[in-house]
Structure 1
Amino acid sequence: MNKVLRALLFLILALPFNTLAHEVRPAYLQINEVSSNTYNVLWKVPRTADKVLDIQPLFNNSFTLNETIAPRILEAFVLYTYQLKGPISLSNTTLTINNLNKTGVDVLVDIRLLNGEHHSFLLQPSKNIIVVPEKPNKWMVAKTYIVLGIEHILLGFDHLLFVLALLLITKGFKKLLKTITAFTLAHSITLSFSVLGIASLPGPPVEAVIALSIVFLAMEILKIQKGVPSLTSQKPWLVAFSFGLLHGFGFAGALQEIGLPQQEIPLALATFNLGVELGQILFVILVFTLLKLPKSFMPKHVWMQKIIPYAIGSVASFWLIERIIGF
């Protein structure tokens, strides 16, 4: 089996079958000043069925942090509630996320002060310490949500499988550009509508239909390989736009789960969407480059050509069943 086919198969089959649509679940630290140098702290830590990440926020030694409510266990997170007190303002003091460098998650930090200042920034395993800025920085908000958008799409394996299937179906650069543009436009519309409260759909059915959309495309690839004409092969942009509307609601669910700075919602929304597009472009360039390699590298046997759509369909079918059971 040639190297190109092996690479694509590895990308598909190496995914855990129980991988969910939105693998990126950063921790979230919300700090609200309620009186002079006194803060309510909400600490949301990602968890799995049997494990909670051992990470904690550490503040300047002059501050005291006391738990006010017992931890609450949710489906994907554990919520901790504290009160933070100190003799000085948080501005220009050091914030550290202990043990973050031993994990693979980010921490979104949201700080709101009584003077109206609002700070949003991202801490990562490679940078788990920061001096809280004295003045708000819009560029820091923009950079935070661009990074979150890129990470979300590159680790959102069901969205990537959908895009991969579109690339395998679409023939010709102009048609491919039209198809990807239609998908981008569609999910941008519903992402914006959902976050702004204009329209929304319940998460579990959306996730199930996203998996179903991938199964549908896998079946369409097999039809095309057999030479059977279909609307998908003739107008892939139409299918991409239709299902892209649902994928946008999926992106919105992830963004709302991550959290948005209330005073910077338009900026956060725009830059998260930009990050999603940048991640998608990177993936498209990678796959398009592989598919454009000389034909001597491509599989010659019919059964080899069928492996990829069957692999895509199998993974998506498992997700579909898993998500329906989870209703």
Structure 2
Amino acid sequence: MRYLLILAVLGAMIGPRAAGAHEVRPGYLDLTETSANLFAITWKVPALGAFHLAMEPRFPDSCHVVGAPIAIETGGAFLEHGALRCEKGLAGGTIEIEGLEATVTNVLVRVAFAEGTVQTALLSPRAPGFTVAVKPSPLQVFKTYLQLGIEHILTGVDHLLFVLCLTLLVRSVRKLLATVTAFTVAHSITLAAATLGLVSVPAAPVEASIALSIVFLASELLRAPTARSDVTRSNPWLVAFSFGLLHGLGFAGALAEIGLPHGEIPLALFSFNVGVEVGQLAFISVVLSLNYVARRLAQWVPDWAPRAAAYAIGSTAAYWVFQRLAAGLIT
């Protein structure tokens, strides 16, 4: 039953990505001040085939679009570039995503001013607008990046599959706590180092290596406990720490796309990492709870279930390896 549960969790995580009618990919709106009260606009909205989600940004009344925006389709999304002039500036004005309330996705809004300050907000169907603060408070920065961290880990299927494999490989609660702690410490180190510019690694090899880490753990799940590698069996924390360094670089890549607010970089980095941990622990709690229920209810487990679950995870990760390497060669 516990391995049938793995298949159900895997399907639940991957299935929504292929369901265009229930789009969950976030939109992105970037406003960068290039001169006094003039902002460059980047608006990215998920594509649904030849169409895109019916949502558009709305700016304060004192703002108007300059010239004709340039729109292109790329990477499963529509990308639009333009310019916005705000006679009274953006500070104190409200930005709203019209139509967001009719979707199930979110939109990340980033406003970068010429003097270096950056504000970000995560808009949702329940809260489709926000007011640009004259000066962002530390609490606003903390809440925004905490949300972003939680959302990133819970929508990052590859990271969740890695954590799922760790949870299934390590039977001892004490060892599992040590293993998860080692993973946390490792990805926190590389997340901070890459975000602060101390380490720079191309995204494609990192993402492909993350997928390979899942392939390795899936192959270990295929083996009997006594036939697994010595390091996995005796020191799973070491495996988690080693691969955690790679996953931290992946988190840093996502955070680099979002950007960090000037003057609040340590707080934003800390709150994003806390959000990742909150999401990760919530996922582990759900897996352990479902596993406990399954053990209580299961009376019969088919012989093929463990291998089917491991092959499902490993095959998915192996596909990601080639897909990400191919994407890296193209770009």
Instruction: Name the TM tier (shorter chain).
Output: 0.7 to 0.9
Distance 1:118 1:260 in 2: 7
Q: What are the residue-to-residue correspondences of 1:101-250 with 2, within 5 Å? A: 101-113=101-113, 118-225=118-225, 227-230=226-229, 231-250=231-250
Give the match for residue 300 of structure 1: 301
Give the match for residue 42 of structure 2: 43
Give the match for residue 319 of structure 1: 320
Give the direction of change, closer, same or farther, for the CA distance of 1:258–1:112 in structure 2 (3 Å limit). Answer: closer
Contact 1:91 1:132 in 2 (8 A): yes
Contact 1:70 1:80 in 2 (8 A): yes
Distance 1:305 1:113 in 2: 54
Give the CA deviation at 1:319: 1.4
1:85 aligns with 2:86: yes
Alignment-mate amino acid for residue 125 of structure 2: P
Give the match for residue 98 of structure 2: 98
TM-score for the superposition, normalised by structure 2: 0.86
Contact 1:33 1:39 in 2 (8 A): yes
Alignment-mate amino acid for residue 44 of structure 2: V
Give the CA deviation at 1:46: 3.8
Give the direction of change, closer, same or farther, for the CA distance of 1:104–1:295 in structure 2 (3 Å limit). Answer: closer
Give the CA deviation at 1:212: 1.0
Give the direction of change, closer, same or farther, for the CA distance of 1:84–1:294 in structure 2 (3 Å limit). Answer: closer
Count of residue correspondences: 319
- Deviation string for 1:71-111 (max 9, x for gaps)? 4655465141213132x343333221122223333333333
Alignment-mate amino acid for residue 28 of structure 2: A
Give the match for residue 13 of structure 1: 11
Identity of aligned residues (%): 39
Distance 2:197 2:165 in 1: 31
Distance 2:106 2:217 in 1: 33
Give the match for residue 267 of structure 1: 267
Q: Please, which moves more after superposition, 141-150 or 229-238?
A: 229-238
CA RMSD of aligned residues (A): 2.7
Give the match for residue 58 of structure 1: 58
Distance 1:114 1:246 in 2: 34
Give the direction of change, closer, same or farther, for the CA distance of 1:263–1:289 in structure 2 (3 Å limit). Answer: same
Distance 1:166 1:311 in 2: 16
Alignment-mate amino acid for residue 11 of structure 2: L
Give the CA deviation at 1:10: 1.5
Give the direction of change, closer, same or farther, for the CA distance of 1:135–1:57 in structure 2 (3 Å limit). Answer: same
Distance 1:219 1:118 in 2: 44
Distance 1:315 1:206 in 2: 17
Contact 1:195 1:256 in 2 (8 A): yes
